[in-house]
Copies of this chain bind each other. A is one copy, B any other.
Amino acid sequence: MNCIIASTSTLHGSDYLAYLTEPLQDHFKNASEILFIPFARPGGITHEEYTEKAKKGLAFLNKKVVGIHEKENFKKAILEAEAIFTGGGNTFVLVSQLYTHQLIEPLQESIKNGTPYLGTSAGSNICGVNMRTTNDMPIVYPPNFNTLEVLPFNINPHYLDPDPTSTHKGETRETRIKEFHEYNATPVVGLREGSWLVVTNEDIVLKGKLKARIFQCDKTPYEIEPETSLKNLQ
């Protein structure tokens, strides 16, 4: 396995994927073409528009970027891809599309075989055991919440610390994850914007400058430093 699983695609005040320039140079170095999966359609933009955005964001690599919707056979495209990037947007829409086109198993197989994979936000959510810790609105009904299980845990991307000055009564992210653990035993990694995980066959390591927050069933949540291994978190 060879995955970069990022909390977000974009940091405030910087360009799309800009903060990942350095790791992506290395990550995609052996690929001549990157297969882009635009199914999550952020803000409802079309597959074409989203693929344009990915092309621009990855232009610094000087690689060909092709949207999966341009391919005749989606399954074959995934199995034969030299590299895969699944962009963020709405996780319910993304997972519904993956089930509709029967792409869960091909993606698992391709990733297991070592195809370099990049996920951001929703594209990272699907690397967990299930999508039950997404922040997204359930605007469509997927046939299943189970996802790729590239990680032995779930992630919560765009992790936000509780705001002590807030007067809003909606649940904090921490409360939501606590509720998740009333019904699920899977650990959750709260991945702050600017953090990512590097997944290989040997290890899962937290990257970026920020700590991540770990939520385990019946345990007090705790922080881990960058470069910490998460391979034993399950």
Contacts and interface: CB of A to CB of B under 8 A. Distances in A.
Contacts of A89: 179
Chain A contact residues: over half helix, strand or loop, or mixed? loop
Nearest to A173: B137
B169 A137 contact: no
B12 A183 contact: no
B144 A141 contact: yes
A170 B158 contact: yes
Interface residues of A, number: 45
B138 A145 contact: yes
Contacts of A170: 135, 158, 160
Nearest to A181: B44
A179 B90 contact: yes
| Most chain B CB atoms below 10 A, which of A141, A160, A193 | A141
Contacts of A160: 168, 170
A183 B139 CA distance: 7
Number of copies: 2
A167 B93 contact: no
Contacts of A110: none
A213 interface: no
Interface in A161-176: 167-171, 175-176
A51 to B, nearest CB: 17
Contact of A44 (B42, B90, B134, B182): B182
A215 to B, nearest CB: 12
Given A44-B182, A158-B170, A168-B158, A135 B137 contact: yes
A136 B179 CA distance: 10
A170 to B, nearest CB: 4
A52 B52 CA distance: 55
Contacts of A183: 93, 139-140
Interface in A1-54: 8-13, 41-44
Nearest to A7: B169
Given A137-B134, A137-B180, A183-B139, A168 B43 contact: no
A8 B137 contact: no
A169 to B, nearest CB: 5
A201 interface: no
Nearest to A158: B170
